[in-house]
Structure 1
Amino acid sequence: MRTNFSEEQLADPETAEANGILRTCVHCGFCTATCPTYQVLGDELDSPRGRIYLIKDMLEAGRPADEKTVKHIDRCLSCLSCMTTCPSGVDYMHLVDHARVHIERTYKRPWAERRTRDLLAFLLPHPERFRAALRLARLGRPFAGALPGRLRAMLDLAPAEVPAKGDDGPRVIPAEGERRMRVALLTGCAQRVLDPGINAATIRLLTRHGVEVVIAEGMGCCGALTHHMGREEEARASARENIAAWTREIAGEGLDAIVVNTSGCGTVVKDYGHLFAREPEEAAARVVAERAKDLTEVMTTLGLREPGGAPGLRVAYHAACSLQHGQRVREQPKALLRAAGFEVVEPRDSHLCCGSAGTYNLIQPEIAGKLRDRKVETLAELGPQVIAAGNLGCMTQIASGIDVPVVHTAELLDWATGGPKPRALADRA
């Protein structure tokens, strides 16, 4: 793609990077075949190629974002399926991230939309605030049908009961038997509140396989939720705390890996080096990013010990976009589940997003609902006894549209190697 930035514009490192990304696009349109929003909406401007044109026009002109550009950029899920498809290697992830930061700096959204985004940024990255909000949400559920779309979506996705708080405070959990690895675990923010059993299962699974697990003092939200809203400084503030916490552990007894069991978080943590490019923390951020691993990457390295007594259930594996496209972790989860004794099946169009995408199902509920319905249809036709995924957002989204238990991959692997039966399967034969 030909670009026409001025020398003055290219003196800005971020603009220069965007220019380099834009120039790699050859207009081939392969991305339109795998873009979920284009599949649903059929609008060229709701495809990666269309959004690239909008971003190029906005940045070259050096103008504030306008309503049209914001509309179509906001509709992007950042699922990154286009990056898996693109034959030219267009770095769409960083281009759309740059566009979102520019939008946040130059465009004033309608009042209701600003308040919604402010509320999400205030609540979701902070477990105690989020837990309190979920308790209040229970009071509003009877009136959900009378509320506007975004508020109704929030209540619809809120659990009927808020799980008891897990043991997620800073500590070191020793390995069982000989120590093979020492890792830090990102316990997350929303996940700690909505399903603390995932972290508990992860810790049991790792320690059972000879891993010492550190819950580092000072660690918190990874920054993904605010990052994808274009709130770059808020995202960096969250990430900065994690980098400091994990750097202390690396400098102390050392860390072989930083384990992430929510793939949306993992994609961002692995990109900390880019998030802090040209910042004082860049070197430390890159060290942290290099150690970040999805749980299934670590378990593949360790090797799954002889499975325990879990039955060979038919498991429909949902590949979270952030795992298969963002991190390019595709075969490990399925191989581990099969090794554990489960029958693993995959839906058609497994590359397409379920519509969760961080806060997308709260900000764009109508499109997210259509994507969920498509995903649920493809999963249901497999006749699964359970659905497995490696990302809490996907689990919540899919569970809202299907009467099949949805559990985290870690819970099934934990169960198969001697841990308890997942809570979601407790009342199933």
Structure 2
Amino acid sequence: MQTTLAEFLRNTPEGEEAKSIVGKCVHCGFCTATCPTYQLLGDELDGPRGRIYLMKQVLEGNPVTESTRLHLDRCLTCRNCESTCPSGVTYGRLVDIGRQIVDERLEAEGIRRPLGQRVARWVLREGLTRPALFGPALKLGQVVRPMLPQALRNKVPANPTAPGTWPRTSHARKMLLLDGCVQPAMSPNINAATARVFDRLGVELIVAPEAGCCGAIRFHTGDHPGGLDNMRANIDAWWPHIEAGAEAIVMTASGCGAMVKDYGHLLRDDPRYAERAARVSALTRDLSELLPEFGDDLHKLAGAVPRDGRRVAWHPPCTLQHGQQIRGKVEALLTRLGVDVRLCADSHLCCGSAGTYSVLQPELSYKLRDDKLAKLQATSPDSIVSANIGCITHLQSGTDTPVMHWVELVDRMMTPVAVAA
């Protein structure tokens, strides 16, 4: 598809990248078959092909309307379309650029988002990305949880799992671990369980205190400069450890992993950070990429622990299967460890969490959640496991079936069970 960039976008990195991406689209329509919002709404402009056409118009300088912004806002950025596309269209990057341009052009014309939307986006950017603010706010929310509106109550875990003991053993092999911004408060056991599993495998996980939000929340809600600042801060925090020989940067939240793996691309034009950003991205690995390398050791450790034969339903997050293109690894490892793992029908579809989407587009988000849960429950699981804090929290809000990170299950299997005398 040919695109003639408007004057204000010519010779800009964003404009040229967007033009290149649009040029790969042949409008075959394969993407519409796997787009969750197109399936729900049945509107061509709420599918990838229609949104690409809208963004092409924007790139060419045609008038931008609030309707354009609405259709782009409704996109989950699940990137299912990227897995389906035979032409290799990197739609996720295109929609990030397109949203930014649309917002800037509408703002320039004096067309602002409604006050409620502006406040919600500001709170998400400033609150979720600052653990020092988010942690106390969550504790307060748990105290007043029964009085909160249902939409907010769904975001506040009633009884977060206690983190347990963080190992203090030092090992020669060391890896970095991104603590994250909301996960330590919402589900502190995930990172602690990861550290315990690696400790048993002879690897020490290091958390750099100065590292914070991966940048995804700001970047995907249109604050590109703020997101890039988050990325630079993390690179600065990790760099001394990388120079000291850290083998990898471990991601326990697939959403963060997809973002950090993109640092090299997003900072490619930054003369101070381009080289280090590329190195960080190369070192970043999702937990599901690392633990299978220790499969033999994990099998031996799990073999010494009594198993209860539980069946689990595995929900692969979009940021894992479409963003990072990682499939089959978690199921294969858990199966090898003796777990009965089930994939539900349409496991490629989004659960509706999608970062801040469940707050900004609740109606569509909860329809997707309920559909996903119905299909997961059809496998008759004792529990549901996933790999991203957003998916875990979102799914748990709609079911009494326990939802946990898959590494918590592995950690339990590694922990000897006390036997009554």
Regarding TM over 0.5, the answer is yes
Instruction: Give per-residue Cα distances to partners, 1:229-287, cap 9 Å, x unaligned.
Output: 01111111111111111111111x21111000000000000000112120131111010
Contact 1:166 1:192 (C-alpha < 8 Å) held by counterparts: no
Counterpart residue number, 1:30: 30
Structure 2 residue aligned with 1:80 = 79
Q: Which residue of 2 aligns with 1:426?
A: none
Q: Distance in 1 between matches of 2:200 and 2:251?
A: 17
1:214 Cα deviation from its structure 2 partner: 1.1
CA change 1:139–1:104 in 2 (3 A) is farther
Q: Which runs of 5+ in 1 are unaligned?
A: 146-151, 422-429
Q: TM-score, normalised by structure 2?
A: 0.92
In structure 2, distance between residues paired with 1:219 and 1:62: 41
* Residue pairs, 1:121-132, within 5 angstroms: 121-132=125-136
Q: Determine the structure 2 residue equivalent to 1:310.
A: 307
Q: Which residue of 2 aligns with 1:195?
A: 187
Is residue 405 of structure 1 aligned with residue 402 of structure 2?
yes
Distance across 1 between alignment mates of 2:158 and 2:6: 55
Partner of 1:101: 100
Q: Secondary structure at the residue paired with 2:335?
A: helix
* Alpha-carbon separation, structure 1, partners of 2:403 and 2:146: 25
Pairing 1:267–2:264 present: no
User: Residues 173 and 7 from structure 1, CA distance in 2 versus in 1: closer, same or farther, beyond 3 angstroms?
Assistant: farther
**Is the alpha carbon distance of 1:126 and 1:204 closer, same or farther for their aligned partners in structure 2, counting shifts above 3 Å?**
same
Listed as ranges, the matches of 1:194-273 within 5 Å are: 194-251=186-243, 253-273=244-264
Q: Distance in 2 between matches of 1:214 and 1:106?
A: 43
Aligned pairs, number: 407
Summarize deviations over 1:315-374 as a string: whole Å, max 9, x none. Answer: 110010000000111111111111111001100000000000011101110000000011
Letter in 1 for 2:251: V
Tell me the equivalent position of 1:50.
50
- Amino acid corresponding to residue 379 of structure 1 in structure 2: L
Q: Which residue of 2 aligns with 1:186?
A: 178
The letter for the 1-side match of 2:187 is: D
Aligned to 2:59: 59
Q: Following the alignment from structure 2 to structure 1, what is the Cα–Cα distance between the partners of residues 157 and 9?
A: 48
- Greater mean deviation of Cα atoms: 398-407 or 111-120: 398-407
What's the % identity of the aligned pairs?
Answer: 45
**Secondary structure of the residue that 1:183 maps to in structure 2?**
strand
* Residue aligned with 1:28, SS: coil
* CA shift for structure 1 position 24: 0.4
Residues 161 and 331 of structure 1: CA distance in aligned 2, closer, same or farther (over 3 Å): closer
Q: Residue 330 of structure 2 aligns with which residue? A: 333
Q: Which amino acid aligns with 1:396?
A: T
Unaligned runs of 5+ residues in structure 2 are: 107-111
SS of the residue aligned with 1:212? strand
**CA shift digits 1:133-192 (9 cap, x unpaired):** 2233346544445xxxxxx52333212246668889xx97523xxx4x321001111000
Deviation, structure 1 residue 99: 1.3
Inter-partner Cα distance in structure 2 for 1:296 and 1:161: 26
1-structure distance, mates of 2:178, 2:237:
11
The 3 A distance-change label for structure 1 pair 38 and 84 is: same
1:345 aligns with 2:342: yes
Q: CA, structure 1 residues 166+52, in 2 after alignment: closer, same or farther (shift >3 Å)?
A: farther
Counterpart Cα distance in 2 of 1:313 and 1:142: 32
Equivalent in the alignment of 1:357: 354
Contact 1:257 1:291 (C-alpha < 8 Å) held by counterparts: yes
SS at match of 2:175: strand
Counterpart secondary structure, 1:116: helix
1:39 shift after superposition: 0.9
Answer yes or no: is 1:90 the counterpart of 2:81.
Answer: no
What is residue 381 of structure 2 aligned with on the other side?
384
What is residue 424 of structure 1 aligned with on the other side? none
Distance 1:256 1:139, change over 3 A: closer
**Aligned equivalents of 1:201, 1:313: Cα separation in 2:** 19
Q: Partner of 1:15 in structure 2? A: 15
* Structure 2 counterpart SS, 1:350: coil
Cα separation, 2, equivalents of 1:371 and 1:420? 38
Q: 1:172·1:215 contact (CA, 8 Å) conserved in 2?
A: no
Partner of 1:320: 317
Q: What code does the residue aligned with 1:193 have?
A: A
Write the letter of the residue equivalent to 2:308.
P
**Cα distance in 1 between the residues matched to 2:2 and 2:93:** 19
Distance 1:109 1:295, change over 3 A: same
**Aligned letter for 2:14?**
E
CA RMSD of aligned residues (A): 2.1
How far apart, in 2, do the equivalents of 1:420 and 1:256 lie?
Answer: 32
Q: Deviations over 1:13-54 (max 9, x none)?
A: 210111010010000000000001111111111100111011
Distance of aligned partners of 1:104 and 1:208 in 2 relative to their CA distance in 1, 3 Å threshold: farther
Question: Is the contact between residue 146 and residue 153 of structure 2 (CA under 8 Å) also seen in structure 1?
Answer: no
CA–CA distance in 1 between the matches of 2:133 and 2:371? 33
SS at match of 1:157: coil
Structure 2 distance, partners of 1:229, 1:104, is 10
Worse-superposed segment, 358-367 or 104-113? 104-113
Shift of 1:101: 2.1
Contact 2:382/2:402, CA 8 A, preserved across alignment: yes
Partner residue of 2:109?
Answer: none
1:299 is aligned, of 276, 291, 313, to 291
- Return closer, same or farther for 1:24/1:412 CA change in 2, 3 Å cut-off: same
